[in-house]
Amino acid sequence: MIRGVFRNRPAARFSIAWSFITACPLLLSLPCFCMGAGEELPQSAASQGLASALCACTGRPESLVQNPSCLAFLENAEVQFSSCSLFGLKECALKTVTAGSPLPFGAWGCMAQSLGGTLYRENRLAFSFAFVSRNRIGGGISARILQAQAAGYRTQTAACMDLGWTVRVSEQWSWGAGITNCTNSRMGRLQDRLPQCGRAGISFKPCPGILVLAELDKDNRQALESRWGIETRLSQGLVLRCGFGTRPDVFCLGIGAARGNLRMDVAFSDHPVLGATHHVSIGLFRRGQKDRQGKDRWP
């Protein structure tokens, strides 16, 4: 009976044949889903508003992914909760918790992140430690664990380490550099290499209340990328951010407000192909002893 239906309906036979042809590459690629795992993701609305140009942005817990040594100059104990849907896609929901606290000889930080939905999910966990020498030179190390799972396939797990260095040349200038996945870690049945990236950046404060960031990133699988960010303090508890990145060309805009021990940040980024992403973060912080002395810092 079924054979008779297909004999009389060529369109139905063509539809099934076409479905089989288009489904084969997808089915064959699912066991290799780890190939795209571990790509860099935004950590918070504040970092997104600055196009993630945080390699030399000292004193912020969300900098631990770009450069763990930036934690060495952390002066506020802080925890952040961030949420967004990348490019407005429900299956690309991103949740992040970041925390950091100063120590007598440096600082520690950690990050937990979850990306995806029912079909594909990535879970990330990072622990970072940074030390400071002579109040100018900072070094940091991060240990990261990545877990990737596609529906119907076994969960894959990998671990890697990151390194970073930061130098405060003066109160206005800082320089930073970092290497992600310096252990050359791999994941999956085919041992796909996790992304490796080297980056270097500077931060400059031309005047009180204005911060300028510039960064160059080189992924082992992509061309050189540049990122730029500017943060302007409009008032004691209000800042405006904007950023720009290349490859692809991404424009970012954000705003942050702080009151008491609470801060809130929102950001918007526009991808030329995939569309817009809206990011929201809420942070709780406790001012450190140095920060209570009235230094020009956010928040």
What 3-state class would DSSP assign to 118?
A: coil
Query: Are the C-beta atoms of 179 and 218 separated by less than 8 Å?
Result: no
Residue 11: inside a domain: no
Cα-based torsion angle of the residue sequence 63, 64, 65, 70 in order, rounded to the nearest 10 degrees? 60
**The predicted structure's pLDDT at residue 254:** 97
Considering the domain boundaries, does residue 9 fall inside one? no
Q: Which of 230, 198, 194 is nearest to 214 (CA)?
A: 230
Domain count of the fold of the chain: 1
Closest CA to 284 of 82, 129, 126: 82
| Distance of alpha carbon 101 from the chain centroid | 19
Q: Give a yes or no: residue 229 inside a domain.
A: yes
List, for residues 95-147, the tens digit of each pLDDT value. 999 999 999 888 999 999 999 988 899 999 999 999 999 889 999 999 999 99
Q: How far apart are the C-alpha atoms of 103 and 153, rounded to whole Å? A: 42
Residue 227: predicted pLDDT: 96
* 264 pLDDT above the threshold of 80: yes
Q: 10: which residues sit within 8 A by CB, 6+ positions away?
A: none
pLDDT tens for residues 266-287? 999 999 898 999 999 999 988 7
Query: How many whole angstroms separate alpha carbon 200 and alpha carbon 180?
Result: 12
The chain-wide mean pLDDT, for the chain, equals 85
In this structure, is residue 17 part of a structural domain? no
Q: What is the pLDDT of residue 293?
A: 40
Q: What is the pLDDT of residue 298?
A: 53
pLDDT for 279: 96
Angle at 231 between CA 227 and CA 237, to 5 degrees: 150
Residue 83: inside a domain: yes
Domain for residue 23, yes or no?
no
- Domain range for residue 211? 37-293
Please give the angle made by the CA atoms of 227, 229 and 231, to the nearest 5 degrees.
Answer: 170
Cα separation, 36 vs 146, in Å, equals 12
pLDDT at residue 190, rounded to an integer: 76
Q: Is the pLDDT of residue 218 over 70?
A: yes
Is there a contact between 147 and 170 (Cβ–Cβ < 8 Å)?
A: no
Q: Classify residue 57: in a domain, yes or no.
A: yes
Report if residue 111 sits inside a domain: yes
Nearest to 60 by CA among 283, 250, 226, 268: 283
CATH number, domain at 97?
Answer: 2.40.160.60
What would the pLDDT profile of 25-84 be if each residue is shown by its tens digit? 433 333 444 445 678 888 899 999 999 999 999 989 999 989 999 999 998 899 999 999
- Tell me the pTM: 0.82
